Structure formats: structure tokens, C-alpha cells
Amino acid sequence: MTRVWAAIVVFLFGAVFAGLAVGYSERTAPSELAMRYLEQVPADLGAANVVTGILITYRGFDTLGEVAVLFMVAASVGMLLSGGRGGSTSPAAVTARPARPPSELVVNGAQVVLPIAFLFGAYVIVNGHLSAGGGFQGGAVVASGVVLLVLGRPSVVLDHGFLSVTESLAGVLYVTLGILGLFFAGGFLDSHILPRGTFGAFVSAGAIPLISALLGIKVAAELSVIIDRFRN
């Protein structure tokens, strides 16, 4: 019976979506807003990657809210997974449990890939204003390296205190940069507090690389904490 109702619901949604897909015609020119962004980000902010410019400066407040969501998720995952489970969360109890050791492939693969993964994550984070990437993307790459680390070496203990301090410091510095924008530039999280520099150079685009790096550190630390919570 459930399946019949589910099939009817999915079919009806499918009919609506089919109408959308058939009626959709590809756009031949960007919208007015997009045109403005495409002109303003290189000219005004000095960032080559328009998406990063939008995310970090024009929609900076939104990005701050998003970071706050990640922070709340890390906190609530910690609360959900550690509360009311006496003893089972300590690392000693985990290592004492007889678990299947990771396969040779994962262990050796982790040794080869880990340095490259962290390096690539750092590269993606600090080149967000020049090419595809940015704080969130690079942070996710670093965190996936951490997943590989805990898969390859199950005995490794991540220092939650260190990660929390790093993450909080990055968050405080991010908000401080935003407040500096209120005094020295056009408003909260305005990246004009630093000089624009040469277009396309590594040190350019005002405060965007700095904010991007802080975001990357914060996201990487937060995701690592979330991942580690699921392990224990």
C-alpha cells in the first residue's frame, strides 16, 4: 500500500518536473545581476574568480551565517553523540575494542596520498581568488584527507582541544576582519581594507585571500571534529 502511494506521489512530482524540463529554455545572456557581478568583481574587488568575490565580499554576511551553521552542527553532533553513553566515548575504550585492521591498500594509500591531499587542500584554499576553489572547497579537501587518515590509522587520536582553539581563533579573526571593514572600508566584511594589488597576482584582491584562508582553516577544523565524533 505504501509503495502504491509513494509511486503516485513520485509520478505526480515527475509530471510537474517533466513540465518544467520541457518548458525550460536555455538562457542566452546572463541576468542583469550576473552582468553586474561579472563586471564589478574583477574591476572593484580585483578578484579573478567571480564566485569567490560574491561569496566572500558581496554575500559575506551570508557566508558568516553559513559558518555559524557549521559551528552549530559541530556542537550539536558532539552533544548528540557524546551525551548519555557512559565510557564508550573515551579513545581507550575504542582502541580496546577488537576491530578489523585497515587493509594494506588503505594504509599504504594513505601514506602516499595524505601529504598530497593536505597540500592540494592548502593550495585550493589560498588560490580561491585566482582560480576555482576557496575556503569551503579547500577545507573540504583537507577534511577528506582527515577521513583517509582515520581510516588508514584507526589508533590516531585527533586533539579536539587544539582543533577547537584553531577553529575559534579563525572565527574570531574572521569577524574582526569584518568589523575592521566597518571602520576602514564600506561596511561589514568589506574586503577593501587591504590594497587591491595587481590583478591576477597571488597577493591581491584586498582581504579576500586572508578571509578565504581563515574560512578554510575553520571549515577544515570543524569538519574534522564532526568526522571524529562519528568515529568514537
Partner 1 sequence: MERAMGLPISHLLLVTGLVLVLIGMWGVLVHRNILRIIIGFSLFGTGTHIVLVATGYVTGGTAPIIDRALPVGEAGARAVDPVPSALVVTAIVIGFSVTAIMLSYAIRLYEARKTLSIDAFTESKW
Q: Which residues bind partner 1 (CB under 8 A)?
A: 2-3, 5-6, 9-10, 13-14, 17, 20-21, 24, 26-31, 33-35, 37-39, 41-43, 48-51, 54-55, 59, 62-63, 66, 69-70, 73, 76-77, 80-81, 85, 131-132, 134, 136-137, 199-200, 219, 223, 226, 229-230
CA dist 75 → 61, 82, 170 (Å): 21, 11, 16
Report in angstroms how near the CB of residue 23 gets to partner 1 at its nearest. Answer: 11
CA distance 142 to 140: 5
Counted residue by residue, the chain has a size of: 232
- At closest approach, how far in Å is the CB of 98 from partner 1? 20
**Smallest distance, partner 1 to C-beta of residue 77, A:** 5
Residue 121 to residue 125: CA distance in whole angstroms: 6
**Residue 64 or 180 having the CB closest to partner 1:** 64
CA dihedral sign of residues 27, 33, 36, 38? negative
In the numeric block, the cell 576555482 is attached to: 132
DSSP string covering 161-195: HHHHHHHHHHHHHHHHHHHHHHHHSSSTT-GGGS-
Whole-angstrom Cα distance, residue 115 to residue 224?
16
C-beta of 168: minimal distance to partner 1 in Å?
18
Question: Smaller CB distance to partner 1: residue 48 or 207?
Answer: 48
Q: Closer CB to partner 1, residue 109 or residue 160?
A: 160
Beta carbon nearer to partner 1, 85 or 100? 85
Q: Nearer to partner 1 by C-beta: 40 or 180? A: 40
* Least distance from partner 1 to the Cβ atom of residue 134, Å: 8
